[in-house]
Chains A and B, each alone.
Chain A
Amino acid sequence: MSLLKKKKRKEAEIPTSSMADIAFLLLIFFLVTTTIDVDTGIGMVLPPKLEEDVEPPPIKERNVLKILVNEQGLVLVEDQPSAVQLIREEVKKHVLNNGADPRYAEETGKALVSIKTARQTPYESYVSVLDEVWMAYFEMWDAEARALGYPDYGAYVNAIDEQDAENAIRDKIKAAISIAEPDAA
């Protein structure tokens, strides 16, 4: 009898050597199914809905850089035929003009870029135009940040985040992009 009791005590152990293998199997499953791609895109903020009887604030014609994109994806900048690649420089000239050239904006703070498309304009053309406009702003912000002694705008944003300070560059050069409604056909 005493012999039987001894045997029982010895067997009370679970083999744990395969535990790692099981965990590995699960790990591999999740490794394969994981997608760590972060969503990227061009951020925009739509204007709030206008009240019925409120007139939109008056804007001087001069402060608006009008960009038109037609059905074929061709571009008009200030009623002049242009190319998508030239928009970046045009926007920079417009925003940093400060009254020098009568065709462009009076002040940086008042400058506005308006993008107007037709209803048949391909989305791809619209995005490439919008992309160029945004790149113009990004490059201007980069230049401002370098003037303040930061390597680029991203470094500046990180620095002010730490200090909890206001984003002075963004206040100075506001990205004012408006998406105009197409003309009724």
Chain B
Amino acid sequence: MDRVSRQQRKGTVEPAPQVIEPSLQLLQGILDYSPTLIYVKDMQGRYLLVNRQWQRLYSEAGEDALSLTDEEVFSEPSALALRRNDQAVIDAGAPITFEEATGTAGGDHHTYISAKFPLLDDHGRTIGVAGISSDITDRKVAEEALRASERRMSLIFEAVSDVLFLLAVEPNERYRFVAVNPAFLAVTGLAREQVVGKPADEVLPPDAYAFVLPKYLESIRENRRVSWEEVTDYPTGTLYGHVSVTPSVDDSGRCTHLVGTVHDITDLRRRELEIQKLNVELEDRVAERTGELEAANKELQTFVYSVSHDLKAPLRGIEGYSRLLLDEYADQLDETGEFYARTTHDAAREMSNLIEDLLEYSRMERGPAARGPVELRPLVEKLVAARHQEIADGTVTVTVGIPDETLSVDEAGLTQALRNLIDNALKFTRGVAEPRIEIGGGSTSGTFTIWVQDNGCGFDMRYHDRIFEIFQRLHRAEDYPGTGCGLAIVRKAVERMGGRVWAESVPDQGATFFLELRR
């Protein structure tokens, strides 16, 4: 309805006298159905009139509310406050609006916005106070909850040790600091008034601003949290930060704010860098030590090698001349003299074997193993064939049960190892009634195992490891001659191609030697 038609209606519609009657009814209706409290009190504070809502809330059942006073309805402090307000209206002689918190003795608490005005008689004297009170209890509770929530949020905001900031998103890709927490100020060394209310480009250094701008845009455009790590030099020191911004979107979907966090990872980074540095140092030290060890090892191997060689020269003399003595002067030697010469000669031969084994062992120790395909069965058969004389002499039953298998191994090393194991088996079955040697093999998923089993004298399992050590012998040389290098060479040969060896035995029943190789 516009102004003109209102004017027109004013001009045309005359108020009819008879509307007064329905007006009283209307007023009664308003009184009865208003959700607000409507009441009139006399100068003594006695209720002269209360509406139905007032009665509903504050009258006992069947009680007549009229002539009650606030003291009889409300708790003492509430009644006192109400009376003070009423008096203020009377004193002012004009309407006043109050916020009134009331409580009954029964504990019914409400908060009202009360418009109170003085009630005048025909002579203009104040005869009472009338009031209209709207219940704002729910609103007050909600407001209080909100305030409490805000207080809590603010407490968190203040207490968090991470940097927090709130940016208002403004037109033309501009951002303004709305709030920052104490951690922000502590890290940046800025005062609150240097930050809050200022545009981001005034607060942040230009390069830092240029760096974060695309991140802000990305977060807004994709409406998601965007995070990154950055290193910033602040007056308080260099900060390694894990930074994030999270968009805050209004009901229309527009991003109004960005919530930023910076988690200080300086200590973490420093520690990481320190660990990296320590690792590098450690690696250097390990490399250095390894180098030293390798050098020492090489030196030792060279030493063993050259000693072995140099020992051979005088040995050739001992062997050669004792042989010449035995050959050319046999007729001039008595039995004892010949025994001396022969023992000297035999000892030289034994030492020669020892040196040969030592050289073989030393060769196994040096350098990595060569790798190539080796057909296992033909190799074993060849090795057995090479010992046919010894096998025939000892009437040994040799069975070979090796499946067709081609392994990628060091052929020379494997040949040496198997030869030594076969020789070993032949040696330790000497003197057994029906000597038997069984050479077998089988595979698992990643390995191939070869075993050489004999029914010879065996060994005590207490020594199952020692037998693979160099110069370790479990038997007297006169019973089973040998240098004590054979099994050490087996182990060295197998280990350098990544395999392992072990043995099982029952004394006087035999021994089984296993070679496990990678397939």
> Real complex partners, A and B?
no
